[in-house]
Amino acid sequence: MQVRPGGHSISQKTLKNSIQCSGIGLHSGMKVNMALHPAAPDTGILFCRTGLPGGPVEIPATWEYAIESPLCTTLADPAGDTKIATIEHLMSALLGCGIDNALIELDGSEVPVMDGSAAPFVFLIECAGTLHQDAPRRVIEIMKEVSVSEPERAVTLNPGVNMSVEFEIEFDSPVVAQQSWSMPVSEGAYKRDIARARTFGFLHEVDRLRAMGLACGGSLDNAIVIDGGQILNPGGLRYENEFVRHKVLDLLGDLFLAGGPVIGATRGFRAGHALTLRLLQKLFADRDAWSWRDMTEADLAYGMGAVTPPVRAVAARA
């Protein structure tokens, strides 16, 4: 049986100041203004869609309000009238920076894509500053294995002493090929190894995606674009295996829809947003599979807050 860490509780954290940015939506191609605000303890991450005829609509960033949508993670209000799409990079940055509570205001239906990674959001959070709050940070501890799969893809949660991820991708592309990445998650490791990894796509798929109303705002400024055996971005890659690192970035953002950091080992194989959402739905449907507890100082010793090196990294194999 897993031994739970002890020690003093770690406090929740929010933003010290509000901060704003603007950009375009990756899929809508529309300009959107976004503001990140501090929030009270136990608020969690709360999105607020402004500029609507009936007034602002708030949607908690939890799995109960998430819906399956192509190529991104989307929240919807219970009536289904208001949606906020492509939240995964921002959610990943909030988790990676240890933010428990924040109010995110947008005047559009999609979080701005910025440069296609989480790094601009990390920068915004650091510019706003952080503030510890008088309430313990709550984490979800995995008590037994939970797994979902479909042909040639799967994602699994197992008990563990920290939050760790392992991911493998495989594409019929000489540029991407097969890549794996594994790491214990900490603020230091996230900023160093994950935050700058950008989303990616293939040039031959652009027309089809845009016909579906997707990737309308995509460009070399906010995505890695692959054409056959070459990368079209003038600066090339930020990491040798940037593709799989971005998939880890996405996975962490989607897992934060649990409502807090997940203490356990996550293993993904070619999984995407929809499969991760199904994993959370299956997890919370089984009351014996998870447990809330306070995060403690002992968790930091296991890597949750310390700067830790990656466990394993395998670059692309042609």
Mean pLDDT of 148-166: 96
Coil, strand or helix: which one is 268?
strand
The pLDDT value given to residue 301: 61
Distance of CA 21 to the CA centre of its chain: 19
Q: What is the CATH number of the domain that holds 199?
A: 3.30.1700.10
Mean pLDDT of 222-247: 96
132 is catalytic: no
Residue 68: count of CB within 10 angstroms of its CB: 12
Which one is catalytic: 27, 37, 89, 273? 273
- What's the structural domain count of the chain? 1
Reported as type and span, the H/E element at residue 166 is: strand 163-170
Reported as type and span, the H/E element at residue 314 is: strand 312-317
In a domain, 4, yes or no: no
The pLDDT value given to residue 117: 98
In a domain, 5, yes or no: no
146 has which bridge partners?
A: 157
Mean pLDDT of 114-140: 97
The pLDDT value given to residue 308: 37
In a domain, 290, yes or no: yes
The pLDDT value given to residue 135: 96
Q: Which domain holds residue 37?
A: 11-317
Is the predicted pLDDT of residue 312 greater than 60, yes or no? no
CA distance linking residue 104 with residue 93, whole number of Å:
13
Give me the chain's average pLDDT, please. 92
In a domain, 1, yes or no: no
In a domain, 72, yes or no: yes
Instruction: Count how many residues are written for the chain.
Output: 318
Is the predicted pLDDT of residue 283 greater than 70, yes or no? yes
In a domain, 266, yes or no: yes
Is the predicted pLDDT of residue 210 greater than 80, yes or no? yes
In a domain, 311, yes or no: yes
Q: Locate tokens 């994602």: which residue?
A: 155
Coil, strand or helix: which one is 106?
strand
Specify the DSSP class assigned to residue 5: P
